[in-house]
Structures are given as structure tokens and as C-alpha cells.
Structure 1
Amino acid sequence: MPEQTSLPPPIWLPLAESAIARLRRHEPLRGTDKDKDANGDRDTDEDDGERPPYQLTPRGRLLTEMLVTSGAIDRHHPDDRAALRESGADPEAIDLTSGAHRPGVWVHPHRLLLAIRIAALIGTQGALARWLAPGAVTILAGIDDAGALKKLLRQAFLPETWRASRYQDDGDPTKPTLFVAAPEVQGSGHVTTPAEARFTAAIGRVLEEAGPVLITLPSGYRIPNKVAELLPPVQELPDLDTDILITLLRHTHSATGRIDEVTVRAALPDDAALATLTPGALQIALRAETAHTVAERIAQLLRNSAPTAPRSGPDLDAMTGTSKALTTARRMVSDLQGWQRGEVAWSELSRSLLLYGPPGTGKTWLARAMANAAGISCVQASYGEWQAAGHLGDLLREMRRSFEHARETAPC
């Protein structure tokens, strides 16, 4: 793949591209009538040997793309490129033979992203071979759907003759197997005590097998200490960064495997900001038409959600005493910080607090201290200020303005 920048490609890119090419073999042409589940996957969980009816080169690349790579042709005349950019199109992403600007074979973005992150974690084919060596044990955290992971590994990473399974008690016992152990997760993401006991037993069972073992953990879950001390360190999937996102966009927003990378990189925020992007926000951004507009949308979403730096003022931690108001304020801030870290659901929080008392007793001071402790804005308003605007209509207008300001500066 030709590079548009002087940046060297990441070491994991060949493994990611190989995995994505294999995933494409399990998907139909975009827009064809094939049964899919809610995640965009084929209904069957096995490779039935079918291949979608499209023509690719032996390495899975379009002929026009190979000619561009070799320098035999340029994609567009410079004037045409400028005109395409002015119209909002991506000249790199458009296939010259068909005029299409999206991939003909659609793989759901969440599957692509998981495959890319796994490739980024593993690194190279040599490292993958070490993952699959007899006796190898890998512990991978942040996997909330172990079934989807097993399917992805089998389709995209494991050798063709391998399978991923919990047991070796069905089928051919000589067939190479990656043994996978994962806890049963409740709908809320919780692992019950009985489920944890079964998980511990499953770990013991797979460790008795001679083949490689993969133990997956859902987000926020830790293996019991008595088991963890016997196992290797836990590995985490890499956070979303520029290289991972660029690789994803090449396969979601291009018919050629190329995008206008220089423009996209310039529009993206830095890696530290990208790591904070939620799956929901990424899903919204990916609905944009081109890779560049995806990058712009991500930047906008992150700007809107970035917490305002704490202002100078009262410090909740410096306040002393055990009054009910102070105790409640500290608990609410602690809950909010837990929600920001993804440890508790919004529905589980106490989200409002009414403080009452005569002027000068510290009601506003405490509210500002809570905002500073949580790293968010504090929007202050009063009935007196609203009433000073004039009659009832003016009061209501000023009240609405205060709440609109609060929405614009969220979280606050």
C-alpha cells in the first residue's frame, strides 16, 4: 500500500491487513441479500467454504490499486483531485473503474476495529505463532463478548485448520485448538459469585490441555487473587489511536484501501484524546460520508465532551467536618468520578441535591467545590437575577438562558 506521509507504517499493519482480508472472505458483496445478525455477521458460525461473487487479485487487492502502487498510473489528474476535494469527496478512496467510494465487501466496523486492535496487541506473525505455541497462556482484558472474539480469531487469525473452543471433547481430538476460558457475564456486565466459581473451574480445565490457552476478562473484572498469582500478567487491548483509526477508515470509507491520509491526520485530535472516545461516539462519527468528515466529527465530539479545567476556588478535600451536606457532596462527587471511569451506571447515581439555608451559609461555595473536585464547570444562577430581568416573560427567558448555558458547557 503506498504511503502518503513520511511516517513509517506500524509494525502490526501486515498482520491487521491479513486479518481483514480473511474477514472479507466471510462477507457478501455490499447490498446483497444475505442473512445477517444484529452485529452484521453471517448467521453461520462456521466457514462453509462460500466466497462472495467478486473479482480480486490473489492478494485481495483491486487491479487499479496495484497499478497505482507500482507507479504505472496516477489516480487522478491534480486538477481533478482538487475538484474532488472541493466537492467533499476523497480522491484517494474512489475506485477509477467503478466510481465507488465505499468497499464492495462490507465488514461491520466493530469487527474490523476489534481485529485491528488484536493485531496491534499481537504485533507480527511471529508473535502470533508464540501465542499459539503449545503451553502458551494469554490473559486478555476488556473482552465483553467472548463468543464474538472466538469467531473473529477463527476467521481472521488462527490457521485454517484450527478452531477456538472451551473443550476438546467434541469433533476431532487431533484438530489444533486454542482453548478459551471466559466468565459468564450478566446483562449489566456483572459476574456473579456462582459464575466466578465456574470460571475458576474452567481455567483449571483448560490449563490441563496441552494446547495454547486464552483467558478473556470482561471490562472491569479481575481474576480472583488466588488464581491470578498463578497466571501470567493480564494484557489489555490497545486504546484507539491515529494509526488504528486510519487503518479502520481505509476499510470502511474507501473502495481502494486508500484514504486522503494527510488531510485525515491533520483533522484528528491527538492519541490521548482519541483514547477517550466512547464506542457510541465512534459509531456516530463513522456514519459520516468520507474519512475526512469522520475525523472532523470525532474532533467535534471530543471538543464537546472535553471537561472544563477546574477553576480556582474552593477545594472539597480541604473542607473539614462531617455535616450531612458535606458528606453527601463528597459521596456524589465520588459516584460521578466512578461513572466517568465507567465503573457505575448513570442510573445508579444520586444526581441531584437540594441545599437550603439563609444567605452566607456556604451553599454556592459547596457547589463550586463539588465542581472543582469533579473537574467540571459550575453554572451559577439565582431567582433574584432572573427576576431582575423584568416581568414574568423576561424571568422565564433568563431562566431558559441559564439552563441553555448549562447544556452548552456540559458536563457541569
Structure 2
Amino acid sequence: MRRVLPDMVNPPDSGLVLQPVGKMLMAARFLTAIGTPGAARALDTPMTVTLLCHEDSEVRVHFASAAEAVFAALSDGVARNLMADLCVVTFEGSGGRDQRHLSKQFHAALDTALLQGKAVVAVVRDEGDLSDAARILVSETYDLPPVSGTMVSEVMRALGYPSSRKLAARLSEADDAIACLPGAAIIGALRLETAGGMVRTILNAARRLKGPEKPDLTLEDLHLSDELEGHLRGIVADLNGWRAGAVAWDDVSCSTLLYGPPGCGKTSVAQALAGSAGLRFVSATYAEAQAAGSLSDYFAAMERRAREAIAHAPSLFFVDEIDSLPDRSAQGGHNESYVTAVVNHALELFTRLHRTPGVVVMAASNHISKIDPALIRAGRLDTHFYVGLPDRAGIETILRKRLASAGADLDLAAMSRLLVGQSGADVVTAATKARAIARRAGRPISDADLMQAIGENRRTVPEVPLERIALHEAGHAVVRAAVGLPPPERAIVSAREAHVVSTPPLTLGPREVEQLMATLLGGRAAEMLILGTSSSGAETDIAQATELALAAETRLCVGAIMPVYLPYSTDRPQTWPSEIHTAVRKRMSVAQKLAFQAVRRNEMVLRALADALLAARELNAADLEQLLRSVVHVPLPSDRAPALPVELFAGDTASDPAEQTSDARTPPERAP
């Protein structure tokens, strides 16, 4: 490098011609990639293809513009003109809407150079960008490295500003951060008048960019479900094994999707994993990247964050609100090409990160149903965990950690009961407000301060009849048990949130459809039995039951002899044939009768469960199992349904087995 870079400042036999600093930096990167100038001797071997790989199209284009200067300087080092028989061909695509057109142009340029018998340096993302002819002629593959402190020192030396050993060492120590600096920041610094000014400017920029290497939060600071905590601690263990050389990167579970309602701590989970595993935390949001401007600006914004994660590996690349990416199956019209380009870029980005040793990928979504299916398949975000509202134990843990330094004797168990149904962010807000109240009063925090803060949070929520809500949720739990499904795992009731958590059946047959539909209508049945009326709280339940009834008739075909897939939607009931309307109404009627039978036969259990839920605000699996142990079961219509007609399975009546086999394969002739 020291022999080549000075020739770029003062090329032989050409007078004093100062090459732009950017080209010198690109030359330094290329020389670092190939190892030594001596390796350049193989570059111009006819009918060979040398790959120079980088994922960023902008960097590839910059190398192409600097190639003539780079190879001119290298030519002097190897005593021959490399450019005479060498052709540099650059792929400029980045997954955008013009991807196919650019690939076609690139393949044509590659094949033209090879037809002329030239040596080719192909500047690409990876070997997959090559044409078929070029792929079989690849001789060497190099990855273009990021700018490092050592490269900066060598460029300074070539420019006549040699840095001291101390300054050079400081630059080398900041390699990771310098790798992520925008090129303009480095090039501008190298145009200053003193070596000290150059180094100080670059190091200050690197320091501002670097920020904290890892979050202070750790897994010990969070209260997580056993399943999620086990998964995250498994990742930490795998990473430790990978660092020690005992675990291959392919065996590390390195991609996770967290989904659930807003404010439930999905970002905190990602930060805690990074903190516990000692990973650099790199956060990106597709919505912010799309706000950067044009499609190319969007790609550049996401690529910058990806490069940072790769340069600082081991790292955690976290994408928040991934559901802001459009789902291609739900798009159409004039935006279709834009949507396809954006999603294809995301697919390529996740695949690349997934294959990069040391980069753990995690994403968060409020609406998992809105995510393009290709993003969450195996090899991308293939492990999914629901992150919901914290339970009472989780709320108490959050309060204890947030108020630990207050030094007060607080009744956190009682306070956590009042916060059931609120998100982790709401609990943190209440704790922060309580601390502020006590601080302004000049005294330690008290239960009254926390009560006041909780009350302020509640004033943002309309008053709701908790007794009716508790009865409604109890109805779901009682009917679920009465129709033969396992008891729920959790039930909560609050002004903000109320639901019963349960695991759905693995498969759906006639029996399971009846069970689920009756359970969905159980809340409404409980309200009508005890209060005499139903409320708007049953709207979503009715919608889900109707959707399930429609699916049973038109998609699952659990009640039909002839399996025909008919993807009708509940959004457009006017398109349903009359027989579908009749079948759906019949299923809804049966489910309603089942739900009424279940709550009527178990009224005492229903009332006891509603009272317990109202008092505790949250019941866990053990509580629910105890309260539901005396539930009386109700028979299901499918239990006494007749068997399928025998003739459905009847074969040909011919006595010759060979004849039967032939008939089974050959359709019968049409009657005239």
C-alpha cells in the first residue's frame, strides 16, 4: 500500500496530478482486500473473472469511478499496464424496481468482455449477480473492506502528512467506528491542513457516531414469560459458545420476531438481550427510512444501519415496527412496483444479515398479520414470540426495579393489582410520576404518591362497568371448560384491557369448530343470563365466530361432503350464495344454544369466577383450574352426528381386482 498510494498523488511521467482523496481511500480498500500489490499480477489473466464484493451499490459505483486511477497506480507496481487487457464491470442494482433491467445490462457487459478474451474484475454483491458464463470463470473472490484507521494513516502518509505513532494507534483503535462514518466526513477531514486536525476530526466524528456499545438493560431487569426468557438465554449461551469456538454460527438461533400490542416492551426485550450478550445494539425503523426521501434514499438509509451492524459484529440488528413494510399480497395498482422493490430489498437484507456471523436479527411488530409472509419464513425471522401486557408479577417487578432507589416501604402487591391491564410503558409512567410527586414534596415516596400517579393514568381512560366486563370474561372461561376445551391460562380485567388467554387447538374439525364458536359467544351469553342484556363488548366475539363459521363451510369444509375451497370474506356478505348464508346462520344458532346451556348449567361457577376476577383483576392458570374444577359439561352436536355415508367410500362393484384398479384410474365415459 505504501508503494502504490504515493503514485496516485504524483503519477510517474504525468506531472503533479493530485488524485481525489476519495479515490485514494478506495485504492487503500482495494489493496487491503487483495492483500499485496503482488496479487495484482493475476488480475489481467485473460478469460478470468475476479470478484470484488460489496453489498452497497453506492460503494460499488464509487469503486468503478476510481478504478482507472487505482489500476494505473498498481500498473507501475507490477511493471505493466493492467488496464490494457482488464475490464472492470460493475453491477449497480440494489434490489430496486429496476433490478431486472440492471441485471440484464450487467450480464451483457460481462459476456461482451469475455467474448473479447479480456480479464474481468466484476464489482458485485455476491456471485449470484454474475451471468452463467462469468460464474464458471471466477478465479478469485475478494470482499471490499470498510475504511479503517490504518487506511486513513496510509492515505495521510501518501498526502505528505504522516501521522505520529500515537495518532496512528488512536486511529487503529477506532476501526469499528471509522468503518461506519459517512465518506464525506473522512474525505473532508483529510483535506485539513495538519495531521493532528485530520485525526482529531475523524476521531470526534467516530466518537459521536459510536455512542454506547451496548445497552445498560439486561434480561435480569425484565419479567418475561418462561418460554421467551428461555429462548433469549439460549441465544446468550449460543453466542458465548460461538465466541469460544465451540458452536458454529449456523447453529446459533439468530433471528426472532416479537409481536404484540404497543407499549408492552418489545424494544426493551431487544435491548436487554443485547445488554446480556454484550452485543452492539443497532436500531432501524422502516417508517423512518421511507421518510428519508426517494426509493434510493430509503435503500441507502437501511444499508447504512446494516453496515453498522456488520462492522460492529457481534451485534444485534433490531427493526422496530416491521409491519410498516407493505404486504405484497395486499397491494396492487400503480404502487405495486414500489412495494415489490421495498419488500425485495428487505428480504435480501435479512438474508444477508442472517448469513453474517455475529449478527443477531430481531424485529418487532404490533400487527403480525400485516407482515409479508416471506419476511417471517424459515431463514429470516423464523422464531416468533408474543409479548403482551405484563401480569401482576411482572408489574410488581417493574415497580420494584423503578422504585428500588426510593428506599420506601411500599405495598407493591396492592399497587400492582390496580395496574393490571396496563402496558409495561404505562407502569413505568406511573412509577416515574410517583417519584416526581415525592421529589417535589421533599420526602420519600409513599403508597399515596403511587396511588395518585395511577389515578392520573386512569383519568385518560373512560369509565367502564368492570362488573359487566368481569362477568363477560368469566363467561368465556366457563363455556370453554364446559364444552371440553382445556382451562384458560390467564384472565385479566381492567378499564384498559380485558381478555382470556388460551391455547387454540392444533387442528380444527367439526368438534373443535363447535367448541371455539361456543366459547366466543360465552361472554355474551353470561351477560344475558345474569344482567338480562348484552353489550358492545361482544362485537369482536361475534365477528370472530362468524368468520369461523364461514371458514368451516367454505375453506375448512368440516361440514361438507364435497371439499371445495371457496374464499368468501365476511367483509362482503353480499357475495355469498344463499346456501352459505343459511349454513353460517345455522352454525351461529347452534353455538349460541351451546353457550347458553353452558352458562345456565354452571351459573354458580360463573358468578364465583366473575367475583374472583373482579377482586384480583388477574387470575393465572392454577387459579382458573381451581375455580373451574366443578364445571358441568354440555354435549356437542358433533358427538351425536351420523357417520359419513357408506357409499362415499364404496368402490366399483366389479369382481375383478384388475378391473377395479383400472376403473379407479380411468374416468368413466360420459353417458350420451
TM-score of the aligned structures, taking structure 2 as reference length = 0.33
2:122 aligned counterpart, secondary structure: strand
In the TM superposition, 1:13-412 aligns within 5 A as: 13-22=2-11, 51-52=15-16, 106-142=18-54, 143-145=60-62, 147-153=64-70, 155-158=72-75, 162=81, 164=83, 176-185=84-93, 192-217=99-124, 222-223=128-129, 230=136, 231-232=138-139, 234-252=141-159, 257-270=160-173, 271-286=175-190, 288-306=192-210, 307-310=212-215, 311-312=217-218, 313-314=221-222, 318=228, 322-325=259-262, 329=266, 335=285, 340-342=305-307, 359=419, 361=421, 363-364=423-424
Q: Deviations over 1:367-387 (max 9, x none)?
A: 99xxxxxxxxxx999667678
Structure 1 residues 109 and 356: alpha-carbon distance in aligned structure 2, compared to 1, 3 A threshold: farther
Comparing 357-366 with 287-296, greater Cα deviation is found at 357-366
Say which one has the larger Rg: 2
Residue in 2 that maps onto 1:69: none
- CA drift of 1:196 comes to 0.8
2:262 aligned counterpart, secondary structure: helix
State the distance in 2 between where 1:226 and 1:162 align: 29
Structure with greater contact order relative to length (CA < 8 Å, sep ≥ 6): 1
1:145 aligned counterpart, secondary structure: helix
Contact residue 241 and residue 274 of structure 1 kept, 8 A? yes
Structure 1 residues 360 and 285: alpha-carbon distance in aligned structure 2, compared to 1, 3 A threshold: farther
Contact residue 181 and residue 209 of structure 2 kept, 8 A? no
State the distance in 2 between where 1:122 and 1:380 align: 58
Contact residue 269 and residue 299 of structure 1 kept, 8 A? no
1:340 maps to a residue whose letter is R
2:260 maps to a residue whose letter is S
Q: Deviations over 1:123-167 (max 9, x none)?
A: 444322211222332111232235413432454334698585xxx
Greater percentage in helix: 2
State the distance in 1 between where 2:21 and 2:165 align: 22
1:238 aligned counterpart, secondary structure: coil
- CA drift of 1:266 comes to 4.2
Contact residue 16 and residue 115 of structure 1 kept, 8 A? yes
Contact residue 144 and residue 217 of structure 1 kept, 8 A? no
Q: Deviations over 1:163-208 (max 9, x none)?
A: 85xxxxxxxxxxx33122223448x977511211222232222222
2:214 maps to a residue whose letter is A
Q: Deviations over 1:227-259 (max 9, x none)?
A: 77533453122332333111111244xxxx352
2:198 maps to a residue whose letter is V
2:228 maps to a residue whose letter is A
2:66 maps to a residue whose letter is L
State the distance in 2 between where 1:148 and 1:216 align: 12
Structure 1 residues 21 and 127: alpha-carbon distance in aligned structure 2, compared to 1, 3 A threshold: farther
State the distance in 2 between where 1:117 and 1:321 align: 38
Q: Deviations over 1:66-95 (max 9, x none)?
A: xxxxxxxxxxxxxxxxxxxxxxxxxxxxxx
1:265 maps to a residue whose letter is A
1:197 aligned counterpart, secondary structure: helix
Contact residue 51 and residue 141 of structure 2 kept, 8 A? yes
- CA drift of 1:285 comes to 3.5
Structure 1 residues 120 and 19: alpha-carbon distance in aligned structure 2, compared to 1, 3 A threshold: farther
State the distance in 1 between where 2:207 and 2:427 align: 24
Contact residue 150 and residue 172 of structure 2 kept, 8 A? no
1:325 maps to a residue whose letter is P
State the distance in 2 between where 1:333 and 1:226 align: 38
State the distance in 1 between where 2:161 and 2:49 align: 36
Contact residue 19 and residue 157 of structure 1 kept, 8 A? no
State the distance in 1 between where 2:161 and 2:14 align: 27
1:341 maps to a residue whose letter is A
Contact residue 171 and residue 199 of structure 2 kept, 8 A? yes
2:51 aligned counterpart, secondary structure: strand
Comparing 359-368 with 125-134, greater Cα deviation is found at 359-368
- CA drift of 1:116 comes to 2.2
2:171 maps to a residue whose letter is L
2:168 maps to a residue whose letter is R
Structure 1 residues 208 and 381: alpha-carbon distance in aligned structure 2, compared to 1, 3 A threshold: farther
State the distance in 2 between where 1:146 and 1:261 align: 29
- CA drift of 1:225 comes to 8.8
Structure 1 residues not aligned, in runs of 5+: 1-11, 26-48, 53-104, 165-175, 369-378, 391-412
- CA drift of 1:268 comes to 2.5
1:341 aligned counterpart, secondary structure: helix
State the distance in 1 between where 2:4 and 2:71 align: 14
